[in-house]
Amino acid sequence: MKTVLKKHPLAIRWFHWVNFPILAIMIWSGILIYWAYAKYAISFGNLEIYHFFPRSFYTALNIPHRLAEGMSFHFAFMWLFFGNGLLYVLYTIFSGEWRYLLPNKHSFKEAWQVLLHDLHIRKYAPPQLKYNAAQRIAYTAIIVMGLGSIITGLAIYKSAEFGWCTWLCGGYASARLIHFILTIGYCLFFVIHIVQVVITGWNNFQAMVTGIEIVKPAKLPVQTEPILEPLPETPQPAIHEEA
Amino acid sequence: MKKPDFFKRTVTISNTTYTKRVVIAFVLFAVLVTGGVYAWQWLNSQPKDDLTLKPLRKTLEANEKIFKGALDSNSRVKEYPISAAVKNVKVNGLVGIQDTIDAAQWRLQIIRAAGDTLKVSLDDIKQLPKKEVIFDFKCIEGWNQVTHWAGVPVKTFLEHYHLQGFEQMQYAGLQTPNKKYFVGIDMKSFLLPQTILCYEMNGKPLPMKQGFPLRLIIPVKYGIKHLKCIGTMFFSNTKPRDYWAELGYDYYAGF
């Protein structure tokens, strides 16, 4: 016999895995579009540290001269990206899953402790439910970023009909820059996410496919009250997911 | 608020049931991945319509229908003070632009019917009420510039020359005199109050490279639609040929 925790509902697994290729196509087609006016760089005064993007990057990914193609993909897959994201948000609201996802008033302090723990500076991580505080912040931030991509996207794509979006973004050029920065944000999120998944291991990863994870019942924390303060002396719960 | 009961989401199942569930989940996952790969390959193997994959071209056309509803006959884009307009206006496309045009000889030719062409001189156009438009010009490449233009609103022009009947048509078509550059514009956008037949930039006659003697300024569209050096104007219920749409871009190309 095995005791398993029903960790990820089917809907969340579905939205997660469907989003992955769609977001990848949005980023790829976005680069095809960005190439036509590729002016962003990180600079100190006149010293350019990094230009987005180097020629080798474009060559390797076969980016140049595909603006029209990029736009045709971007403005079709945007519907899937938006629809999948909207359904995910609605699902988390109506299923109650938002309780494990939204940061609470302790999350920002705890996220720091999680970071110190992950960096092997602190011995114990704060106790957690489904997700630790750093995850709550990251997984909520990524949804806010998605909303940001939609608003800045509309500000660029429909700057007349959605003039208020353009105004909200501080103008057309600013909307385009924020849209780009958010995309870089997704890429950074992806890198950290993959590193965390690899570190946390197979049992955690497979739960995103199967939904279930084996637990040792004796080690399940007894949860009577919402956890208020981190208890450094408490031994680690059996489940400790990072990603 | 309901207290979180996350750790109570446990079930005890037999080893066989557990294995079965894991195997089924991974098989379904593999099916989903394979389905995704096939869908992507299917999409990319579709025939092209003016260099754009047919399903994507259809989506662009659907997007036009969805978004155009928000435009009404009085829609305007934001206007700026003259001081905000740049002095060095970018020149980006020279397709169809000639080295010289004799303004005295030039006529705007409006095709009313086969064999019935109205010819209007630049001086006649300048007699009509002049409108200045200072707006954020946007190129499909991604750059934008606040620029200052002046000319006669298309709607005023059509009414003056008793061409209102054509406002019921679906599209207007424009061509350069040498027919090397051509655009098609949906009538709704063509008749908006800020759409002008433009003969001045920054208070001076248009430079050759900005489409002397007359160009289109249509603030609700990307620069590719602002045809420089208009030779011919006509009306149609089918899409007129469009230079960049034939090279894969969105026909509507509007905001």
Q: Among partner residues B75, B136, B250, which is closest to A71 by beta-carbon distance? A: B250
Chain A residue numbers with beta carbons less than 8 Å from the beta carbon of B244 are 68
pLDDT (tens digit per residue) in B69-87: 888 888 899 999 999 999 9
**Which fold does the domain A4-219 belong to in CATH?**
Fumarate Reductase Cytochrome B subunit (1.20.950)
Mutation site, A77, A183, A202, A212, interface B, largest B CB count within 10 A: A212
CA-nearest residue to A101 within chain B is B4
What is the per-residue pLDDT for B221? Answer: 97
Q: What is the mean pLDDT of residues A27-54?
A: 96
Instruction: Extract the runs of DSSP E, i.e. beta strands, from chain A.
Output: 2-6, 41-44, 47-51, 212-214
**Cβ–Cβ gap B4/A99 under 8 Å:** yes
Residue A2 main-chain phi, psi, to 5 deg: -130, 140
pTM, to two decimals: 0.91
What is the per-residue pLDDT for B1? Answer: 39
pLDDT (tens digit per residue) in B124-171: 999 999 999 999 999 999 999 999 999 999 999 999 999 999 999 999
What is the per-residue pLDDT for B50? Answer: 96
Buried b (16+ CB within 10 A) or exposed e, A78-104: bebbbebbeebeebbeeeebebbeebe
pLDDT (tens digit per residue) in A128-175: 888 888 899 999 999 999 999 999 999 999 999 999 999 999 999 999
Residues of chain B with pLDDT under 50: 1-3
If one counts every other C-beta atom within 10 angstroms of the C-beta of residue A242, the result is 20
Q: What is the DSSP letter of B223?
A: G
**Cβ–Cβ gap A212/B22 under 8 Å:** yes
Interface residue A101 vs chain B (CB under 8 A): no
**Cβ–Cβ gap B77/A172 under 8 Å:** no
**pLDDT: which is higher, B207 or A225:** B207
Chain B residue numbers with beta carbons less than 8 Å from the beta carbon of A72 are 52-53, 56-57, 59-60, 248, 250
pLDDT (tens digit per residue) in A180-207: 999 999 999 999 999 999 999 999 999 9
Q: How far is CA A55 from CA A35, A38, A59, A60, B154, in A?
A: 10, 11, 6, 9, 44
Most confident of A14-28, A94-108, A213-227: A14-28
Give the pLDDT band (50/70/90) at residue A213: very high
Distance in angstroms (rounded) separating the CA atoms of residues B171 and B69 = 16
